[in-house]
Structure 1
């Protein structure tokens, strides 16, 4: 299913991929686990075959967790991001746990050190300097149970250049803290049956379904 989905989007694969495309710490972003990286061109990586934009060679798929609260959800989705072809993971702070906690590493197993991970101090910082910053070609999708459009009906960009940014709220409050900023944004709901029996999916499960 994933390979067919990737092909339908027109994505290209490159052996020249980057573990980190991020602002220096002074500008709000850094790559966890790889030290402080200078601003500059694409970096080499052990993760061959990542899905990248044919326009600027940055990753096409981005997963954003807004103020995550539970460590193993972050560990789980980090592992998934690697497995599906080099999706970039963004954590928007404040984060309710330490990334050094053993539960994060346990959920991500020995893959955690290879996660293309970017940390942001605030939502404003992410919006200004993240993947859909000014001048960057990207479409963002905000996942909420109140979304007007089902994931099954979303038409994602297929030009192989436009980055796809999937945004998820935290385990308790979702995206309520930035809800007033989402009025004209793409709000997407995951299909869910038996809503009389369950209220929501687990956070890392939701992100995996979307990917």
Structure 2
């Protein structure tokens, strides 16, 4: 059973583009969602594009770094949380899925998605229904859409009086 303080988590599997990773971590900070970073990443954490996309928000997100897929899988096994893989090859439209407040939503690499072992470990694979013949959305946009639905379903959005401003 997940711990009582477990919240939604956005996991980035071996991110390659620093601007996307920074944007997704900023999203996590603004929405109060935990983040997991599964290495190796295609850039150092000191990368200027990564820092620029994340701005000072990176100091406001709880990030757990995992040195490998295996380390992440071991961590997840001890937490008993569901792993939901977001993929263009997902079996279930995200809008048809029932989320839990302690789910881990994972995005794959920008160039190749997630490998077979990650698909095999996922409790569910989710996709965004799209028009035919169009390949995919930007990974940060896709993560924001599905994370928003998960927060809506689980009542995880900030309450009135806790909200910040749009920029």
Whichever structure has more helix as a proportion of its residues is 2
Cα deviation 1:6-54 (Å, max 9, x = unaligned): xxxxxxxxxxxxxxxxxxxxxxxxxxxxxxxxxxxxxxxxxxxxxxx8x
Q: CA deviation at 1:78?
A: 0.8
**Aligned-partner Cα distance in 2 for 1:137–1:180:** 17
Unaligned runs of 5+ in 2: 148-167
Report the count of equivalent residues: 146
What TM-score results when the alignment is normalised by the length of structure 1? Answer: 0.64
Q: CA deviation at 1:165?
A: 0.5
Q: Which residue of 1 aligns with 2:48?
A: 102
* Larger RCO, structure (CA 8 Å, separation 6 or more): 2
Query: Are 2:149 and 1:149 equivalent residues in the alignment?
Result: no
Q: Residue 110 of structure 2 contacts residue 139 of structure 2 at CA under 8 Å; is this kept in 1?
A: yes
**Aligned-partner Cα distance in 2 for 1:116–1:165:** 14
- Tell me which of 103, 107, 113 is aligned to 1:174: 113
Query: Are 2:14 and 1:67 equivalent residues in the alignment?
Result: yes
Q: CA deviation at 1:151?
A: 0.3
**Aligned-partner Cα distance in 2 for 1:164–1:90:** 12
**Aligned-partner Cα distance in 2 for 1:171–1:178:** 17
For the residue of structure 1 that corresponds to 2:49, the secondary structure is helix
Q: Residue 65 of structure 1 contacts residue 167 of structure 1 at CA under 8 Å; is this kept in 2?
A: yes
CA RMSD after TM alignment: 1.8
Q: Which residue of 1 aligns with 2:135?
A: 199
Q: CA deviation at 1:155?
A: 0.9
For the residue of structure 2 that corresponds to 1:99, the secondary structure is coil
Q: CA deviation at 1:68?
A: 0.6
What TM-score results when the alignment is normalised by the length of structure 2? Answer: 0.80
Query: Whose radius of gyration is greater, 1 or 2?
Result: 1
Q: CA deviation at 1:137?
A: 4.0
Query: Are 2:83 and 1:140 equivalent residues in the alignment?
Result: yes
Q: Residue 18 of structure 2 contacts residue 49 of structure 2 at CA under 8 Å; is this kept in 1?
A: yes
- Tell me which of 19, 25, 32 is aligned to 1:78: 25
**Aligned-partner Cα distance in 2 for 1:147–1:166:** 12
**Aligned-partner Cα distance in 2 for 1:163–1:180:** 19
For the residue of structure 1 that corresponds to 2:111, the secondary structure is coil
Q: Residue 137 of structure 1 contacts residue 163 of structure 1 at CA under 8 Å; is this kept in 2?
A: no
Q: Which residue of 1 aligns with 2:124?
A: 186
**Aligned-partner Cα distance in 1 for 2:11–2:49:** 20
Unaligned runs of 5+ in 1: 1-52
